Structure formats: C-alpha cells, structure tokens
Structure 1
Amino acid sequence: MLKPFPRLLLLATAFLGVSVHAAQFLEAPRVQAALEQGLAAERGKGVGRNPWLAIRLYCDAATMGSPEGFMRIGRVLATSPGLPRKPELANAYLAMAASLGSEDALRYYDARHGNAELQGDCDALTGTGYTESGEAAFNMAAYLSKQPIEQQRIARLIHKLAPKYQVDASFVLAIALAESNLNPAAVSPKNAQGVMQLIPATQERFGVRQPFDPERNIMGAMAYIRWLERRFAGDWRLVAAAYNAGEGAVDRHAGIPPYAETQQYVRRVMRFAGMAAKETMRFN
C-alpha cells in the first residue's frame, strides 16, 4: 500500500494549479500532442533518442493534468538507459500518476524504495541534464518525416501558405504541433477545433467557416498570428503566449502570464520552431 498517495493528490492539485479531472485532460489535443512527441523522444522515432527531452515533453502534458504524463516521467526515470538511477524520484512521479488514476504506474513502481519529495514542477528535475540548445533540441523536420502522410501534407500546406500571410512558417508549424500534432479532426474540451485549435470566437473573428478543413483552419490561424505579431511588435514569445492564453492575459501581465501551462507552451513552441537558442526565455 502506498501511503503517500493522499498527500500526493493534494500536491497534484497544487502542481497543476487546476482541479484534477483526469479524463478531461487526457482528451485534450495539446496533451495528446505532448505525449506523442515525448514518446518520439523516448524511443528515438524521427528525433534522436533523448530521455531528457522526453521528460520535458511529458512534464508539459503533466502540467496540463495528464496522469499519463506523470506516469511516463516516472517510467523514463525508472527504466531509461543512460540516465542516473533515481528510484525514489521515479516512485514519486509514479505515485502521483497512480493517485490520478493511472493503473500502468504501478507496473513501474519499485516498492523497495520510498518516494522523493517533488518540488512542484519539472525544472529542478531536468536542471542537471537539460539545456534548450543541447539536450532538449527538437529536430522538427526529422520528427515530421516519421508522421503519417496526412500530417506531412498539412506541414507542407503551412509552408505553402505562410508567405501569403507574411508569417514565419516554422513558428506556425510549431504552434500546430503544440496544439494538435497536426490533427485536422482535433476538438478540445473547450471546443477549440482543427489543426490550429481555433475556438468558435476566433473562427468568427477571422472568417473561418470550415474549421475542420485544414487549409481554412490554417488560413484563419495565420491571419490571427499575423495580427498578434503586429500587436506585440514581433515578439514571438508574446505571440505564442497570446495564442495560448489570449492577448488580454498578456496585456494584463505585461508579458508572458504566470501560468505554468502557458509558460511551458511558449517554451515548447519556441523549441519546436528552432527559436529557443536565439534568445533567453524570460517569464514574468
């Protein structure tokens, strides 16, 4: 019996900054995208095998409330070759996952060891082996080469349409990967729809009448991103933050809002776009 579970459930609520409703978060396209991309890094599918990058991506999923994200962090720490063994830390993440309803977590839990105390996010966990330019580099082209034909077609469509809207194709593609992993049928619990996860209000604002048509969805998103770029004087970090949390939240906080999900979203988009190494990420 794992006595720390009730305490870890309380920690989970603090860690996530939201109410814990596991099924809802598991259905969210952003969570699914982070899990799929983390698995590619864990197994070396397209991107080179990189356990630290896998942990970072799984942490992004966990921050959005995913028990699977917590479980996979623990799994990597418990089983990944080349990482220093940290069974107590692995157990802590696995116990967190189990407390949120993950049955798979118990397969990797090592009852011979206790549970480490989690610090509230993954930054301390990855700090000794993770850098934006090295350990966590994400080769977007290599990753896309291993995706289904339809996703590759959508990626090419983004590159084709970007010049018309005067936006950076790599940045838009990074948004699409973070939002839905290029899934044109994706629907979030908040009814964001399509490849670029446009909510109905944004669809109406930018004239998108067929949100599940990839081209129409991408065109609307590019118009929005172009508008945000002008609004925030070309600061791509603020554009990404506004795409995630809304331009009003960026205005209220005079920068990237202090929401864990938004901060990790910006970091992920900048990494995917190849922009993370060009400037230091500074969050309010």
Structure 2
Amino acid sequence: MGRLVASGYQMNTQIKDFRFEALIQETAARHEVDVKLVKAIIRAESYFDPNATSRVGASGLMQLMPATARQYGVTDIYSPPQNIEAGVRHLKYLLQRYPDNLAHAVAAYNAGEDAVDRYRGIPPYRETRNYVKKVLKFYARSGS
C-alpha cells in the first residue's frame, strides 16, 4: 500500500475493510470470485460504509440497486451479509458474461449490461469510465 496514511484516508479505509474481511473472504471464495476484485468494487462503491446510499438509489457496501437486490433475494439491502452475497453473485454473473474483459464486467457493474452491450464496450459515460479506472487501480494496487 502507498504512503497516504498521513492523511488518515488510507488507514481509515483499511480499518473499515478489516471489519468485513472474514465475510468478504468467505463469500468471494464460495462463489469463486477474486476477493481482491470484490474489495476493489466495495472500496469504489461505498468505501466500506454499509449504510451508503447513492443519489440514484444504490445502497449498502456493494451499492446494489433495488431491482438487483430483489433479483438475488435480498430482504435487507443494508445488511452486510446479504449485500455482499448478492453483490458477489452479480459480479460473478458479469465476469461470466464478459469472460475475457474485466473492464467490461466492471463497467457493467456500474452502468448495466445493456449499456455495455449497446456500446460494445465501456459506455462513453464519464462516471462509468472513471469508475472502471478507479476499480482497476484499486485492484492492481491490491497485488492482483
């Protein structure tokens, strides 16, 4: 990890990460998804805040949209076990849908599969392009 600890930001993120470490590890392993990718998604989505809510209605650690949460049987979107379970299952689905392109799977997690399919790649949305860069940067820094 870098030397951003002086600002407190990196240290704070690591502490939050540790709170959910066992849950993330177990869920990622059970679904055969790289735990470092799951952590990169969570970091980009909510900075490990289980109560995070976006302006568009995505909620919880993995920022699930209500329809996605329902699709995976989530009854409490802010519950870390339910949110991570559904988020990892959805991420696995996207990784299987875009098996040779991690960036496309990550873009679909943010913008949806329809957008990635329509543009035959990462959609030209500034938010999605920045999101993909951020997730891949976090993933690379994790030693993947």
Asked if structure 2 preserves the Cα contact closer than 8 Å seen for 1:188 and 1:197, the reply is: yes
Asked if structure 1 preserves the Cα contact closer than 8 Å seen for 2:107 and 2:132, the reply is: yes
Asked if structure 2 preserves the Cα contact closer than 8 Å seen for 1:170 and 1:273, the reply is: yes
Q: How far has the Cα of 1:156 moved from its partner?
A: 3.3
Query: Of 118, 126, 131, which residue of structure 2 is paired with 1:265?
Result: 131
Evaluate the alpha carbon distance shift between residue 234 and residue 225 of structure 1 in structure 2; reply closer, same or farther with a 3 A threshold: farther
Q: Which residue of 2 aligns with 1:83?
A: none
Deviations 1:217-261, CA, capped at 9 Å, x for gaps: 000001101110111114211111001111100000000111111
Matches of 1:258 and 1:43 in 2, distance apart?
Answer: 35
Q: Unaligned 5+ residue runs, structure 2? A: none
Query: Of 15, 20, 25, which residue of structure 2 is paired with 1:154?
Result: 20
Asked if structure 2 preserves the Cα contact closer than 8 Å seen for 1:270 and 1:276, the reply is: no
SS of 2:61 mapped into structure 1: coil
Deviations 1:179-224, CA, capped at 9 Å, x for gaps: 1101111111221111111011001111111111101100000110
Matches of 1:169 and 1:276 in 2, distance apart?
Answer: 10
Asked if structure 2 preserves the Cα contact closer than 8 Å seen for 1:155 and 1:182, the reply is: no
SS of 1:163 mapped into structure 2: helix
Matches of 1:242 and 1:152 in 2, distance apart?
Answer: 27
SS of 1:274 mapped into structure 2: helix
TM-score by length of 2: 0.87
**Counterpart amino acid of residue 8 in structure 2:** K
Matches of 2:32 and 2:53 in 1, distance apart?
Answer: 27
User: Counterparts in 2 of 1:132-151, with a 5 A limit?
Assistant: 144-145=13-14, 147-148=15-16, 151=17
User: Counterparts in 2 of 1:86-235, with a 5 A limit?
Assistant: 144-145=13-14, 147-148=15-16, 151-235=17-101
Evaluate the alpha carbon distance shift between residue 252 and residue 218 of structure 1 in structure 2; reply closer, same or farther with a 3 A threshold: same
The structure with the larger Rg is 1
Evaluate the alpha carbon distance shift between residue 170 and residue 215 of structure 1 in structure 2; reply closer, same or farther with a 3 A threshold: same
Q: Unaligned 5+ residue runs, structure 1? A: 1-39, 48-141, 279-284
More helix by share: 2
**Counterpart amino acid of residue 271 in structure 1:** K
Matches of 1:253 and 1:225 in 2, distance apart?
Answer: 20
Asked if structure 2 preserves the Cα contact closer than 8 Å seen for 1:241 and 1:263, the reply is: yes
**Counterpart amino acid of residue 86 in structure 2:** G
Matches of 1:190 and 1:229 in 2, distance apart?
Answer: 24
Deviations 1:112-169, CA, capped at 9 Å, x for gaps: xxxxxxxxxxxxxxxxxxxxxxxxxxxxxx6743x34xx4221332122111111111
Asked if structure 2 preserves the Cα contact closer than 8 Å seen for 1:191 and 1:199, the reply is: yes
Percentage identity across aligned positions?
A: 37
